[in-house]
Amino acid sequence: MASAVTGFRATPSPWSLLAAPALVLALALPRPAQALDVDLGQNVDFSTWTLLGAARTYTTPALAYPGGPVVGIAHELVLTDAVSDSVGAGFAPDTLRINFNQDFSFRFQAFLYGSDIRGDGMSFVLTTQTTPALGGGGSDLGYGGSGMPGYAFAIDTFNFPGQPESPSLQILRDGSATPVAYTETGLGDDIRNLQSWSVEVRYTASGNNDETGLLEASIFRPDLGSFSVRSAADWSGVGSAETDPDTGDYLGRRVLYGFTASNGLASDGHLVTSLAPVPEPSTYAMLLAGLALMVSLVGRRSVSRRAM
C-beta neighbour count of 192 within 10 angstroms: 23
In this prediction, residues 170-193 reach a mean pLDDT of 96
CA–CA gap between residue 2 and residue 213 (Å, rounded):
49
Q: Is the pLDDT of residue 87 over 80?
A: yes
Specify the CATH class of 34-56+77-275 in words.
mainly beta
Read off the pLDDT of residues 269-301 as tens digits, 9 standing for 90 and up. Answer: 999 999 998 765 555 455 555 455 444 544 544
With cut-offs at 50, 70 and 90, classify the pLDDT of residue 56. very high
CB-CB contact of 129 with 267 (8 Å)? no
**E strand intervals along the chain:** 36-39, 50-53, 56-63, 70-80, 86-91, 96-98, 104-113, 121-127, 150-156, 168-173, 176-184, 197-205, 212-221, 225-234, 241-243, 250-263, 269-277
Taken in order 149, 154, 156, 160, the sign of the CA dihedral is positive
Burial 229-266 (b: 16+ CB within 10 A, else e): bbbebebeebbebeeeeeeeeeebbbbbbbbbbbbbeb
Give pLDDT, residue 32.
46
Q: Is the pLDDT of residue 116 over 70?
A: yes
Give pLDDT, residue 34.
55
Q: Is the pLDDT of residue 115 over 90?
A: no
Angle at 195 between CA 192 and CA 198, to 5 degrees: 95
**Mean pLDDT of the residues in the chain:** 85
Query: 226, exposed or middle or buried, with CB in 10 Å at 0-12, 13-18, 19+?
Result: exposed
Percent of the chain's residues with pLDDT above 70: 79
Read off the pLDDT of residues 105-114 as tens digits, 9 standing for 90 and up. Answer: 999 999 999 8
With cut-offs at 50, 70 and 90, classify the pLDDT of residue 69. confident
Q: Is the pLDDT of residue 85 over 80?
A: yes
Q: Which residues, other chains included, contact 119 with Cβ-Cβ below 8 Å and sequence gap of 6+?
A: 157, 158, 166, 263, 264, 265, 266, 267, 268
CA–CA gap between residue 101 and residue 48 (Å, rounded):
30
Read off the pLDDT of residues 191-223 as tens digits, 9 standing for 90 and up. Answer: 998 789 999 999 999 999 999 999 999 999 999
CB-CB contact of 260 with 135 (8 Å)? yes
Taken in order 10, 12, 13, 15, the sign of the CA dihedral is positive
